[in-house]
Structure 1
Amino acid sequence: MSKQNIVVHNKSSKPDNVVQDENQLIESCLAIEAQLPPFMKDYFIFLKNSVSIRTRHAYLNDILFFCKYLISETDITCAKTTNSITVEDFKKIKARDVNRFIGDYCSRYVIEKPNAKIIMENNNRALARKKSSLSSLFKFLYRDEILDKNITDGFNPIKLPKPQPDAIKKLEIDEVAIMLDAVENGTGLSEREKIYWKKTKLRDKAILILFTTYGLRLNELYQLNISSFNFNRGDFKIYRKRGKEVNMPLNKSVEKVILDYINKERPKSESIPPQHRDALFLSLQKTRMTKRAIRELVKKYTSIALSTSRENGYSPHKLRATAASSLIQYGFSIYDVQNLLDHDNVTTTQLYAAHKKNVKREIINQFEWLEEFDE
């Protein structure tokens, strides 16, 4: 069968590509829901209206995984398929069953593939997410009077390590300079890499400058369009988590690298397939760059800055951390940086503030009571 064309009838302020990305996630959610027991239908509606699409997708995946576990690893149900698990089966589940699933089974399990055996190991953060998914489900089923007991009070706590500022991976300011020199001059690239670099260096530079200036998330950069930018007003539009629409101001550096790329390197509009003409960052095939391609690009240039292998280069999220700590080192307040990066909690931003070197010494050295030292 040929792939069905998708036509977007869009009356919202979101660009079509953002609507299409969201629709793909929604379709994936619906496909997962079809594999889950029908008695969870009201829970699906609850998720749809209470959490972001990505959180909804993650929760549904976790619940489907739990249902598969019930069938393959326990005698709680006789069901052969996940969507035939009954309410009566769920009523048999006790807190200890969930604790065994999360604490024992999920910590390490094996996926058998035709040509490989994949060992899956989860850290406490991943286990906490699974616990959150199941807690949400069981609390809802109890509140909706589908289950007689709320077993979530018996779920074992999962201790998450306190984030340590020194453990945050990011580039130092001098390493950012090395990275930008690499994209400007091809320094550190192999001869094969230079072949492609000559064709994409303005694009690559614009991507790295956007990441390190605004701390954009990968998805926020991936969704950027030509129409996202209003150069007359000096701003551009991005779509944050939970669908928040935000206008970001342009500075001269960002405006220059974007216009250089558009005017000097980006293919002319008439040569680009219609569905990709508005995409800002294009591949050599004249289609919107994939998230994977953007991720690999960032790893390549950051690995040069770090003097390490390409595999050990940093992800786009590490450039988000780079932007946060660099802004704070330049003297901007944590509240301004929190607002720019869209951190839900200022304590997240404070972690980057801890990277400001010798901050106590700087404060004390500039705060003298004796006039002879107060210069």
Structure 2
Amino acid sequence: MENSRQLAEEWLAHLAVERGLSVNTLSNYRRDVERYLAWLEATNIKDLADVKALDLERYVADLRRGTSGGKAMAGASAARALVVARGLHRFGLSEGHLAVDVAKEVAPPAQGKHLPDTLSVAEIAKLLDGIGSRDPVTSLDLRDRALLELLYGTGARISEALALTVDDYQMRNDPQVLVLRGKGNKERLVPLGGAATKAVENYLVRGRPALSRGKSHALFLNSRGTTLSRQSAWTILKKRVSAAGIAANISPHTLRHSYATHLLEGGADIRSVQELLGHSSVTTTQIYTHVTAQNLRQVWAQAHPRAQRSNIGE
């Protein structure tokens, strides 16, 4: 097992250096690798070279049942654990430690499709237009409006928005385009609409100077003048949703989901939405087509004269 643990460390180092994975992603990978190796050891499998496809199937089944030393996992979590195990085996094959990659033969567990939560266009307008609509408008009002307008206006992940600096915004070659740095430090260009531009510029001129203590170059600051945290951003959204009277339990990611859904409903093609969201595969983006199809079915059921069941024969 010592050789397998050494191989795992080499793989994690490879992911950090060659793939540029984030600290959080690497931490998740390490946890899953350690769980997998511990399971192998507990089942008396001494080396990755001794693993059979049936062993991996048993591992995934144990994760789902919670008999691997932890709580029972949902299908998505077990599938992610299998992805990590597959990655380790594939790396072992490439490094000559393994003669065959048995992990590629194992199918991930079936998962129920979860449709992402979204807000309607009317709810988005109610949420955003209500921020700073009353006098006096504070620097925090301006910041919150700018943050939420940018999240919805670009489809940015919250981590991407909070990583922006003042220079990222002000030193753009094209004033209508913003550069976002996504997973793996990959950059993508996203259009920045008029509403988001106006909100961010109002914040930069009238809001951010009052918050800044010269401690941070981050675009979005907290009341202490340091970089706004993810938890604080979530709290801001929760507060603003409540103030708007919107009965929904949402997160900053809900604005990203709403952005994608509204683009597709407005006629955008899925490949363009994939690029705007920074998805590496169109498969990830396709979940939004289920959302829009669901909306279309609801419209059809309400509007089509033959949608309702006939009373003939009753």
Q: State the TM-score bracket (shorter-chain normalisation).
A: 0.7 to 0.9
2:155 is the counterpart of 1:215: yes
Match of 1:122 among 53, 59, 73: 73
Provide the residue aligned with 1:38 in structure 2. 6
- Seen in structure 2, the aligned counterparts of structure 1 residues 65 and 289 have a Cα distance that, compared at 3 Å, is same
Deviation, structure 1 residue 269: 8.4
Provide the residue aligned with 2:117 in structure 1. 169
Match of 1:288 among 209, 227, 234: 227
Deviation, structure 1 residue 149: 4.9
2:148 is the counterpart of 1:180: no
2:63 is the counterpart of 1:98: no
- Seen in structure 2, the aligned counterparts of structure 1 residues 271 and 58 have a Cα distance that, compared at 3 Å, is closer
2:272 is the counterpart of 1:336: yes
Provide the residue aligned with 1:266 in structure 2. 208
Provide the residue aligned with 1:76 in structure 2. 44
Deviation, structure 1 residue 182: 3.9
**Partner Cα separation in structure 2 for residue 315 and residue 260 of structure 1:** 24
**Partner Cα separation in structure 2 for residue 50 and residue 271 of structure 1:** 37
Deviation, structure 1 residue 44: 3.8
Amino acid at match of 1:252: G
- Seen in structure 2, the aligned counterparts of structure 1 residues 140 and 314 have a Cα distance that, compared at 3 Å, is same
In the TM superposition, what whole-angstrom CA distance separates every residue of 1:96-147 from its partner, at most 9, and x where no partner exists?
4433332224553799xxxxxxx74421111111101101212332443323
Provide the residue aligned with 1:60 in structure 2. 30
Aligned pairs for 1:22-33 within 5 A: none
Contact 2:180–2:187, Cα closer than 8 Å, also in 1: yes
- Seen in structure 2, the aligned counterparts of structure 1 residues 38 and 333 have a Cα distance that, compared at 3 Å, is closer
Where in structure 1 do 4 or more consecutive aligned residues deviate above 6 Å?
358-361
Match of 1:227 among 155, 167, 170: 167
Q: Which piece of structure 1 moves more, 40-49 or 57-66? A: 40-49
Provide the residue aligned with 1:246 in structure 2. 188
- Seen in structure 2, the aligned counterparts of structure 1 residues 68 and 302 have a Cα distance that, compared at 3 Å, is farther
**Partner Cα separation in structure 2 for residue 358 and residue 223 of structure 1:** 39
**Partner Cα separation in structure 1 for residue 43 and residue 173 of structure 2:** 66
Match of 1:139 among 90, 96, 103: 90
Contact 1:124–1:160, Cα closer than 8 Å, also in 2: yes
Provide the residue aligned with 2:312 in structure 1. none
Provide the residue aligned with 2:111 in structure 1. 160
Query: Once superposed, what is the RMSD of the aligned Cα atoms?
Result: 3.6
**Partner Cα separation in structure 1 for residue 15 and residue 212 of structure 2:** 43
**Partner Cα separation in structure 2 for residue 228 and residue 281 of structure 1:** 12
Provide the residue aligned with 2:256 in structure 1. 320
The alignment partner of 1:236 has SS state of strand
Q: Which of 1 and 2 has higher RCO (CA within 8 Å, sep 6+)? A: 2
Deviation, structure 1 residue 291: 1.3
Amino acid at match of 2:77: A
**Partner Cα separation in structure 2 for residue 342 and residue 105 of structure 1:** 31
In the TM superposition, what whole-angstrom CA distance separates every residue of 1:226-251 from its partner, at most 9, and x where no partner exists?
10113784133221223222343333
Contact 2:212–2:225, Cα closer than 8 Å, also in 1: no
TM-score (normalised: structure 2): 0.77
Contact 1:218–1:316, Cα closer than 8 Å, also in 2: yes
**Partner Cα separation in structure 2 for residue 303 and residue 100 of structure 1:** 46
Q: Which piece of structure 1 moves more, 348-357 or 168-177? A: 348-357
**Partner Cα separation in structure 2 for residue 105 and residue 337 of structure 1:** 34
Provide the residue aligned with 1:82 in structure 2. none
Amino acid at match of 1:201: D
Q: 5+ residue gaps in structure 2?
A: 305-314
**Partner Cα separation in structure 1 for residue 104 and residue 271 of structure 2:** 36
- Seen in structure 2, the aligned counterparts of structure 1 residues 306 and 105 have a Cα distance that, compared at 3 Å, is farther
Contact 1:107–1:123, Cα closer than 8 Å, also in 2: no
**Partner Cα separation in structure 2 for residue 353 and residue 202 of structure 1:** 32
Contact 2:222–2:228, Cα closer than 8 Å, also in 1: yes
**Partner Cα separation in structure 1 for residue 50 and residue 245 of structure 2:** 53
Contact 1:267–1:286, Cα closer than 8 Å, also in 2: no
Deviation, structure 1 residue 161: 2.9
Contact 2:64–2:74, Cα closer than 8 Å, also in 1: no
**Partner Cα separation in structure 2 for residue 218 and residue 212 of structure 1:** 10
Between the aligned residues of both structures, percent identity stands at 23
- Seen in structure 2, the aligned counterparts of structure 1 residues 76 and 359 have a Cα distance that, compared at 3 Å, is closer
TM-score (normalised: structure 1): 0.66
Deviation, structure 1 residue 176: 1.1
Contact 2:139–2:207, Cα closer than 8 Å, also in 1: yes
In the TM superposition, what whole-angstrom CA distance separates every residue of 1:244-283 from its partner, at most 9, and x where no partner exists?
223433332112111111111213587322xx1x111101
